[in-house]
Amino acid sequence: MKILVTGASGQLGSEIKELSVNYTDDTFIFVDREEMALDNLTQVLSVIETIDPDLIISGGAYTAVDKAESEAELVDVINHQAVATMAQWAKQNNRKLIHISTDYVFQGISSTALKEDEPTNPINVYGLSKQKGEEAIITSGADAIIIRTAWVYSSYGANFVKTMIRLMTDREEISVIGDQVGSPTYAHDLAQVILEIAHSEKWAKGIYHFSNEGEISWYDFAVAIKELKNLACHVRPITTAEYPTAAKRPSYSLLDKTKIKQTFGVAVPEWKQSLSNMLAKI
């Protein structure tokens, strides 16, 4: 199988690259901004046509949530129009697509874990662009799997875990939001699931949710990082209102993973074990 992976140097792309060595029968082509700029739709189509993959893993995206508020047009091209281009090519050429989406497509006011058929209603520009990307895939009729995930971190790239370690090492006290609830996703676990699905005989197009098991706040996440790293910094919980940002954040975005587990038989590790695995790696 020839697999094209976008967002090669991102957290997820880097984890897929690391795991790709286990799939010796496949040919992986990893592309990033230099090889395939997602804001250049002509180039996107040209690169895909040249590579002619059996499967596209669409992991590249504009993910600077706050900056997106002032760059709506650019965000739409990358997260919506480029995705539409991939989906249309996949449909026309009878190829498969796995696209990574986000919990930010939801409004974030639920009190129970979000299922795949829950109505979407984004509260920021980034979320809206990702919603449009999902809709473009569905409209295209492509043989595609959309995986919504949340709170992604990895030993690669910049993320919450690395930021917390740096701040807790430098400071005696930090404040972390305690009223936004969800579950983090170790990108290594997500990469494994994507590759398992890609090689599964049970391929079933549609939308799926994946994050690690558990329900925590960002504050709980920070405290766990502190404890596992044995850092002395005091972590203080604050409210969302005390930490204003350009983009609104969902207050509750816990994803229900029942469908992906039942359909593909994949394992969903518990969040603290995955965090421990990542910290051991760095």
Q: Which of 23, 62, 104, 126 is catalytic?
A: 126
For the chain, the first-to-last Cα distance in angstroms comes to 32
Which of 24, 81, 18, 30 lies closest to 56 in space, CA to CA? 30
Write out the DSSP string of the chain. Answer: -EEEEESTTSHHHHHHHHHHTT-TTSEEEEE-TTT--TT-HHHHHHHHHHH--SEEEE------HHHHTT-HHHHHIIIIIHHHHHHHHHHHTT-EEEEEEEGGGS-SB-SSPBPTTSPP--SSHHHHHHHHHHHHHHHHT-EEEEEEE-SEE-SSS--HHHHHHHHHHH-SEEEEE-S-EE--EEHHHHHHHHHHHHT-TT---EEEE---BS-EEHHHHHHHHHHHHT---EEEEE-GGGS--SS---SB-PBP-HHHHHHH-----BHHHHHHHHHHH-
Name the residue type at position 229.
Answer: K
Q: How many whole angstroms separate alpha carbon 156 and alpha carbon 187? A: 9
Judge whether 142 and 175 are in contact, CB under 8 Å.
Answer: no
Which residues pair with residue 60 across a beta bridge?
none
Whether residue 126 lies in the annotated active site: yes
Q: Which residues are catalytic?
A: 126
